[in-house]
Amino acid sequence: MARKAETARNGTIRAGIGGWTFEPWRGVFYPDGLAHAKELEYASRHLATIEVNGTYYRTQKPSTFASWAKATPPDFIFTLKGPRYATNRRILAEAGDSVSRFIDSGVAELGGKLGPLLWQFAPTKKFDESDFGAFLELLPKKVGKRPLKHAVEVRHASFCTPSFVTLTREHAVGIVFADHATYPAIADVTADFVYARLQTGQDTVPTAYKPKALDQWAARAKIWADGGTPDDLPVMAPKDKAPKTPRDVFVYFIHEGKIRAPAAAMAFQKRVTPDGKS
């Protein structure tokens, strides 16, 4: 069973994957013969978190979120990808209705299992400080009485500027760190959590990332959890450092090397968990 890494002085480090329904995982990650309806239950007992991609494409029902919460352990966390209707538009300031529909679709049914909401932008979307700032203004701080956390994944090089870091920090919105072949890598910490998507794994490697690379990412995650910023990752505003305070860290193995992503997440979790267990 997955165990999250947590100490009194550090934040919590959770490693996971994108979604839980993927046919090639059957017989590799999932045991042969496991009922498809039991896959979330199984995955949530071997991983600490899952990033839900389905919310990007379609609106879910409150009963669906409630069923996910019921199927998973008490300390499990879901991160939800915001809908494409909010982020794939020319004028982001006009996304208010799409954002509201998503928030009101029942995400609160996850209760304490609701983690950051991920807003992902197209690789062609360029940084427009005024319009992007207007979008961040649309992101609610709460749903009911439950606080919300937000992260943005930007995929155009125009975002590699100190003004983007300043803007997100003003709104306490996290910048996703992307380990990707072409997307910009921005390691500036702008929120009270860190969100990393590791996307350069290989299915020819049993754990997607080689052991040495997993060691490096585990070391970086521990620095993030302790409130720091790894000195071997690129930052856009080096003179504007975030305060040193413990932060929760979410690390997802996703995109490339997908068949081996669960093995990568479990191997990574062992490296960041005090007792060394996954």
15 has pLDDT over 60: yes
| Angle of CA points 261, 66, 277, to nearest 5° | 35
pLDDT of 10 reads 84
Of all helices (H) and strands (E), which one includes residue 239?
A: none
CA 257 vs. chain centroid, Å, equals 17
Mean pLDDT of 239-243: 90
Whether residue 66 contacts residue 106, with contact meaning beta carbons closer than 8 Å, is answered with yes
pLDDT of 255 reads 86
The residues, ordered by sequence, that sit 6+ positions from 123 with a Cβ below 8 Å of its Cβ are: 155, 156, 182, 183
3 has pLDDT over 50: no
Q: How far apart are CA 19 and CA 252, in angstroms?
A: 10
pLDDT digits (tens, 9 = 90+) for 139-180: 999 999 999 999 999 999 999 999 999 999 999 999 999 999
Domains along the chain with CATH numbers? 13-272 (3.20.20.410)
How sure is the predictor about 274, in pLDDT bands with cuts at 50, 70 and 90?
confident
